[in-house]
Amino acid sequence: SWTYTFEYEPSLGNITIEKGSVTVNGVSLTVVNSKNTGFSVAIIPYTYEHTNFKHFKIGSVVNLEFDVIGKYVS
């Protein structure tokens, strides 16, 4: 498996939680590490092969969607 780390603007604050959901380019994933300016997800081989994750390079721009409900529940 692979670990991908994504960063976002510090002005957004810490909008992810560990074990929470996030969507990257339409792929729903579980956050494995959360920081104030980003988060990490683990990508299994199936996801890597069947999504565009295999084409990502350092610095790639992606679409991020966050589960704000999970943030408020925690």
Q: In what order do the strands lie in the sheet with 21-24?
A: 2-7, 38-43, 27-35, 21-24, 64-66
Tell me the C-alpha to C-alpha distance, in Å, between residue 25 and each of 1, 57, 62, 66, 74. Answer: 19, 14, 6, 12, 25
User: Of 54, 63, 61, which Cα lies nearest the Cα of 25?
Assistant: 63
Q: What is the pLDDT of residue 43?
A: 97
As a whole number of angstroms, the distance between CA 36 and CA 45 comes to 28
The confidence score (pLDDT) of residue 71 equals 63
pTM comes to: 0.85
The residues of the chain scoring below 70 in pLDDT are 70-74
Quote the pLDDT of residue 69: 73
